[in-house]
Structure 1
Amino acid sequence: MVGRIFVSAGHGGQEGAGIDPGIIAGGTTEAREMILTRDLIVSDLRSRGFEVLSVPDDLSLQQSVAWINARAVLTDVALEIHADGSSNPTVRGTTVYYIADNDVRRSHAELMLLALMRRVPQLPSRGTKPDTAAGTGNLAFLRHVRSPSLQMNLGFLTNPQDRQILQDQRREVALGLADGLASWSRAVSGGTDPDPVYPTVSININGGIYGEQGVIINDNAYIPIDLVDRLGIDLSQNNDIVRVTYRNVVYVKAVDLRNFGISVGWDANTRTVLLRNSTVCPGQIDRIMGLGATSEVQLIVFIKRNNEDALENFPDLPKLYREEAAVEGVDHDVAFSQMCLETDYLRFGVDLRPEQNNFGGLGVPGGTGDDASFPSARIGVRAHIQHLKAYGSIAPLVYPVVDPRFEFVVRGIAPLVGQLSGRWTSDAEYGDKIMAILRQLYSVSDIL
């Protein structure tokens, strides 16, 4: 029996104090475009005989997840569709996100992407990506929906070509997504036992095999809740973590432990979940002031992994960040991660140019909206570090002030990275985006 299909249109629900329209561009909103597309997908799939549930549009993200979980079973699938946005209007293309470290879900994402590309080849493919590559480091729709789930960003609403395709070829887009959903649903539910026996996996903690095994559910590794307690993690007040009871044992998804300072990996050859305590002290990872954990080489490897040409113009930048941050007591890993966010891994863009040596998106006084420029890369890094110190500490600067806005910051008002949101920029998720890059840095460097 083929399972049911849940389809959610991203944004449009109540978030905070008002309705969230999502991306706004070209006289339309992300919510409007996704709702119109979703309705066509649902109609087409129902005409093919599938049971499809459309997530109500007035729900927040958290409410949407709860609505699906109250109805879904493990043989169902859930898709949320979004549009992307960028300050660079030339950026375009479709991306499918899947939950990290899940090769089966990645294959499902590839299936969905291929189905859309067949119907609408004019849309460039940006490929399939783990949700750790998303701006916030993870996607709640993929982490918290109990049944297999994917998120598709259909195109960039800020790009005129993508926007025109999403509007003028809406039916073809919907048919492509319906094709993919039909195939994905059959792949997930085909031959599924209504009373399943989940395969077991071994668990390795800090190099040693744990006495109890985990299980594979929906292609994700789950570990016993007792082990979570042994790791010193209290989930009793955390309702976002998905829990599954199987044969009278409560399990949680292993990948969710990354948010609690645990390194999570997978050895496919031995079918073993690899867990390791982070070398970063719990409670310190999101503090602006402190000691970074990475070496210069690790910073080089990380940024070149994201942009092969990143250091062509700034070969000493990792060294400069370590040196300048050490002088002022700022965590160089935090500063470097913020630089990666602000400059798009030194690709820069419309607002920032390489010759400005402005790596933190620093503005100038006077309300002109202009970005600051600095005479050298070192001075640009120093200004960035000083601005971070202004937010993170009340201690005096070691070097003379080169940050043009240092004096305007209320000293020490934002000691945590998350508190930069709405201060450094108006982006409410700004701190989360920095932390997502920081966690990627630590993961690549085998620190987290």
Structure 2
Amino acid sequence: MKLYLDPGHGGEDPGAQDNGLNEKDITLAIALKIRTIILKDYENVQVKMSRTSDTTKSLAERSSAANDWDADFFLAIHINSADNSAQGYEDFIYDGLSDSSKAAKYQDIIHSEVIKVNQLKDRGQKKANFHVIRETKMPSLLTENGFISNKHDAELMKDSSWQLKVAQGHVNGIAKAFNLKRNATKETSKTTTTPKTTQTTTKTVYTVYVGSYKSKENAKDRVAELKKKSIKSSIVSTKISGATWYRVKVASYTTNANAEKRLKEIEKAGYDDAFIITEKTSTTTTNSVTQKPAASTTKTTTAKPMTSTSNPATAKPTTSTSSNTSTSTNTNTTPSNSPKDTPIIANPSQFTILGPTFLSPEQMDQFVKKVNPNAPELGLFYQTYGKYYGIRGDVAFAQAIHETDYFRFTGVVNPGQNNYAGIGATGGETRGASFKDEEEGVLAQLQHLYAYATTKPLPNQYPLVDPRFQLVDRGSAPTWTALNGKWAVPGTTYEQMILSLYEKMIHAG
């Protein structure tokens, strides 16, 4: 599905203005959040925008760009204005269309979903002769998300959490209208009956793997190679972001010390892509055999990064079945969702910048708010852009915590700069770069990390907003440790402080 988003106005055209707000700023904020959510949550969606920053675009440029791209749906985001008594939400399709048209059907669905969450009066579904819904070839909708001239509506518009709700409402409607398929998520084990008597024990298993591959043939080659060195191994498949990966398993241990010992032996044998996965399992023994078994464990990659040359996994593993089974004839293994099942940083000097994001946006935001209740909720941005660039978004979040003192900005950089990584703050009173909003600030940080981590071209889904991207010695810091003396000068303990914060986040209760 190809979605074209059109944030109304921009640049020299501020749109409606009132209550200290510009329409162009609110429409852009909502549209950017729509893009972020739909790309994160749904499969097979492409998004283009008429503008992603405060730039001037004519109406003809907007409609022509959507037509040239052959979009499936055009969505224009606007804010209304009238006398201060007018308030609420309404949306429009072209007045030359019938009530049975595709646009009208999509309007029905999207209107219903948006009004559920936007806390605005419902002004109804309407038709009009606006340029962008008239001149676009595909079904089009223009939404008016409250009145900037109304005090109640304007107060909502100032709240980024409200903007996020409005964006989510639009996404819910689009997903329903186009039958979009959600990205793979963890499944929760279910039981059919409750045992009369149970005895539960919990254990943690540390499994050593040597490589993770998209190709099963590559995994088989590794097994054969290990066999020649008298190292027994097997292949374990798992799903990561909907894709199947094949991991080569060597052994499992009940203590991390034994796993670490085996890991070092594997490294000495010439394999630098070995890693450990921790599996916490709950084993329930019961006299009842009517309960539906649900065997699964939550697997998470540990600190030894998957640096195999055969496309290592870089996304958060989903729940998969453990290879460890109980000897009891009446057992049920259920997943543990404790954040303590996340990675162990076995070797900080090898802990790569590129890799999966394990912590959820909620876990990140909750951690920082324990210290600073007024901290902005940025976890979703770090997860989304981390996934897109293949960067450990939760470690980048820890970096931001370190740089900003839990987003209290006690250094030279001020909160209004939205500069969460001190980009350009090169010393003294130099405040560094400024970014137009929170999302752009996170995007710039992740792009700057990408520049250090790899020599690959920057993916072009999002605009380059890092002003110092071209100044980086590309690929010079593939690990967090390598940022010492580069991101932070002299910064000999820079990565230690970041990874220490990261481990605190992992073990936060």
Query: TM-score, normalising length from structure 2?
Result: 0.34
The higher relative CO (CA closer than 8 Å, separation ≥ 6) is in 1
Query: TM-score, normalising length from structure 1?
Result: 0.38
